[in-house]
Structure 1
Amino acid sequence: MQEIWTCDKTLLRLLSSCPLLKRLTINSDGGTIDESGDLTMADLFECLRGIEYLTVWCFIFLSFLPLPRKLPTTLVHLKHLCMECVCFCHIYALPIFVLLIRSYPNLEKLKLVVTEDEVLDESYMGSSTLEDYSDISLEYLNELEILHLRNIENGLVFVKLILAKSPVLKKVWIFLWDELPKDDKLQISEILLSCPCASPMVKINVS
């Protein structure tokens, strides 16, 4: 497993020199990457063609705004994606997820670790809808895991999108934020367990 804490041309040279690298973790002490310079998401993902297991902090992608609709490099080898420091109420959260989904056609497992909403400035907060995402498809996704889900509106929008676009999804684990009121937990559970699903074999577990 290779772990990276910066994103610059040195990183790209390192990744380019490791064509057999299968597992990669990209982190950043400050959330976003101040040293990204004129690098784009396309530059970064061009060096990840062979990666099969990727762990990355969600806020890192804010270093590469504006987001493209789709990356020119399709990561056909990526099977497992873990995104940490996810904040569903961020205005770019859903666009980031959709961009990555469009670029990972063979993704089999998706894991999200949600962070607290209070870390955001109000100017970055907003609601999301499923409009313009009708072309999304996760043909091979069979596992979804979300830890510390708490934001009802945007979090549920994302889960509904995954359930509706994953025809072979088998296992869904949703672990709610411990400090959510009991009534909120019950409401979220009822909504998730009644969502329309593209897969007839999916089992949804909410706790």
Structure 2
Amino acid sequence: MQSSSSSSTYAQIQGTNYHHKTKKVHGSTSDIISNLPSNVIENILMCLPIRDAVRTCVLSSKWRYNWVKLPQLVFDDMFWKILGENQLSTKKKLLVNMYQVFLLHNGPILKFTLSISGLESCSEIDQFILVVSRNGVQEFTLRIWNGEHHKLPLSFFSCLLLTHLNLRTCVFEPPPTFEGFSRLTSLVFYEVLISADTLASLISSCPLLDQLSLESFAIFDHLEIVARNLTFLHIRANFKTVRFINTPLLAIVSIDLKVPIDGQVFKEGGTSNMIKLFDSLPVENLDIGFHYVKSLAAGGIPEGLPTTLDHLKILKLSEICFGEPDEVACVLLLIRSSPNLQKVRIEASTIVSPISVTDGVLEFWNVQGDSDVSWNQLREVEMRFISGMKTELEFIKLILAKSPMLESMIIEPHSKEVAKKGLRILKGVIRFRRASPNAEIIYEDPNED
């Protein structure tokens, strides 16, 4: 009975007639294939898309049922493409193929992925989740690409062996009895509907969590992260404050707001709420996005951060407008507050500010040039997408003059400015005084391969 079903499933997934297409293999090649060690066979099958794994049942009688014990089921765009548009033109046909695979599968399902472009929420997904929840799933990916959010069924929260979780466009509402995923090491949420309290509770109840990625258009008033083993964090969401508690291993943080929000949202007593982030941020590598810098500058820049960033070694800032005084002051504040900073990468914005505003920035740089500030640990600086504004060049001049240990300054103009200003930018920079005798100016043309 199983042999007939297996052949039928193969034929439908293959999109051809199984009985007419197969050819019997004779000789030593058949013996080699038939007698491969089971662990080798499993490794081969795990490298194949599901359809190709099913096709191996025709290699020999000993291979007929190997694929049904495959510990991973991956239904992704490759699965969709292999089936072909002619065969798979409706959601119903997709589900039929998935049902057939699940029907014949026999054994643990350690990895489950359902991520097909255009996939929408449907009740059948819950049935698949129920099956994998009963088969020891450890890596779970569900990405809904179109339509409404998919509410995770109760069976999902019984997947207590999870080590990797990746969700897109889902609703995460655990039952009151849910106590977290004690083995989870990697968590990725993209547009997942979840309250700030539930998210904080989830993170704190995953003691082995090492990597966390969160992107959402939802607004979180206060985001609290308690994760003693967390080393990597990526957040691109709308929040007023973020607080880190007991994150001693956190080394790499990339943070930004999803969309710009009215600056008044961030102000408290004349200072941006975003400044509170640095109260508890013991990181070595920090990447701050454009919208976050804007919010950090809302309400004015304080003289200093709540605490110095003693651990910070690498700082990346995106889309900085060197014609805006608050953004320029924010950049300098972060660099000045990081005594052990070794590398800075800044991507400039192409927005042009009024002359009256840039005059204020130039005056600001002149004041800084006369100060006794010095960045003694700074080794590398990258200035990307610059347009040749005088305010940009004055910043480069300041860095060169105040960095006695600098080894390299990389200059990359915006691709649209190379022809008009590329050479002028380079000539201007190489004339600046350098505090470090070993500082090398490296010009990179964005239009060259």
Q: TM-score, normalised by structure 2?
A: 0.42
Q: CA RMSD in A?
A: 2.3
Aligned to 1:144: 381
How far is the alpha carbon of 1:32 from its aligned partner?
Answer: 5.5
Aligned to 2:273: 40
Aligned to 1:22: 251
Counterpart selection for 1:96 from 330, 349, 374: 330
How far is the alpha carbon of 1:44 from its aligned partner?
Answer: 1.4
**Take 2:306 and 2:431, find their aligned partners in 1: how far apart are those partners?**
36
CA contact (8 A) 1:88 1:151 kept: no
Counterpart selection for 1:56 from 257, 269, 288: 288
CA contact (8 A) 2:321 2:328 kept: no
2:425 is aligned with 1:195: no
**Take 2:417 and 2:321, find their aligned partners in 1: how far apart are those partners?**
16
Q: Deviation digits for residues 5-47 of structure 1, max 9, x if unmatched?
A: 23334x21xx224232111011112246765353535421002
How far is the alpha carbon of 1:147 from its aligned partner?
Answer: 1.1
**Take 1:179 and 1:61, find their aligned partners in 2: how far apart are those partners?**
25
CA contact (8 A) 1:41 1:71 kept: no
Correspondence 1:165-180 to 2 at 5 A: 165-180=402-417
CA contact (8 A) 1:32 1:61 kept: no
Larger radius of gyration: 2
**Take 1:105 and 1:166, find their aligned partners in 2: how far apart are those partners?**
12
Which amino acid is the alignment partner of residue 159 of structure 1? I
Aligned to 2:358: 126
Q: TM-score, normalised by structure 1?
A: 0.87
Counterpart selection for 1:161 from 356, 373, 398: 398
How far is the alpha carbon of 1:88 from its aligned partner?
Answer: 1.3
Correspondence 1:47-86 to 2 at 5 A: 47-48=280-281, 50-63=282-295, 64-86=298-320
Q: 1:32 to 1:151 in 2, by over 3 A?
A: farther
**Take 1:135 and 1:40, find their aligned partners in 2: how far apart are those partners?**
30
CA contact (8 A) 1:83 1:113 kept: yes
Structure 1 alignment gaps of length 5 or more: none
Identity %: 28
Q: Deviation digits for residues 62-98 of structure 1, max 9, x if unmatched?
A: 3242111222300110000000111112222321122
**Take 1:32 and 1:143, find their aligned partners in 2: how far apart are those partners?**
33
Higher normalized contact order (CA 8 Å, seq sep 6+, divided by chain length)? 1
* Structure 1 counterpart SS, 2:319: strand
* Structure 2 counterpart SS, 1:131: helix
Q: Of Structure 1 and Structure 2, which has the larger fraction of its residues in helix?
A: 2
Q: 1:33 to 1:99 in 2, by over 3 A?
A: farther
